[in-house]
Amino acid sequence: MHIEPYLFFNGRCEEAVEFYKKALSAEVTMLMRFKESPEPPQPGMVPPGSENKIMHVSFRIGDTTVMASDGRCTGQTDFHGFSLSLTVANEAEAERKFAALADGGQVQMPLSKTFWSPRFGMVADRFGVAWMVTVAP
């Protein structure tokens, strides 16, 4: 069994993927736009003019595959009730990744020493995706 996160950016998926490429060295492994689908979307599923939006994208961050879409292209992202946990090898990498994710986002808990890690912090990126950054003990 394997679990992979699937994020819906409601019209901001391409912006998000470009952000994660810069911030986390994400590598796109597959990308399909609505106009490239072998079957057109069901009527009412996406607004007119959304044919260039992303129907599906897969990208890798380290050893993890993340999948995403523009979904129904409503323009508002709504990420609540979960966090993506990013474990890095050392404090310097934690500082870099945390700062990159915080750019345009909101720090919820600054990076600091905890009883379980030399560095741990929580941040919501500019799209509202919550991240927990920790240094492997």
Per-residue model confidence as pLDDT tens digits over 54-106 = 999 999 999 999 999 999 888 788 899 999 999 999 999 999 999 999 999 99
CATH number of 6-69: 3.30.720.100
The structure tokens listed for 75 are 């323009």
Query: Which of 137, 122, 135 lies closest to 88 in space, CA to CA?
Result: 135
**CATH topology agreement for domains 6-69 and 84-135:** yes
Per-residue model confidence as pLDDT tens digits over 32-56 = 999 998 987 777 777 888 899 999 9
DSSP 134: E
Q: pTM of the prediction?
A: 0.93
Domain boundaries, the chain: 6-69, 84-135
Under CATH, to which class is 84-135 assigned?
A: alpha beta
Could you tell me which residue, 6 or 72, shows the higher pLDDT? 6
Q: Cα separation of 98 and 69, whole Å? A: 24
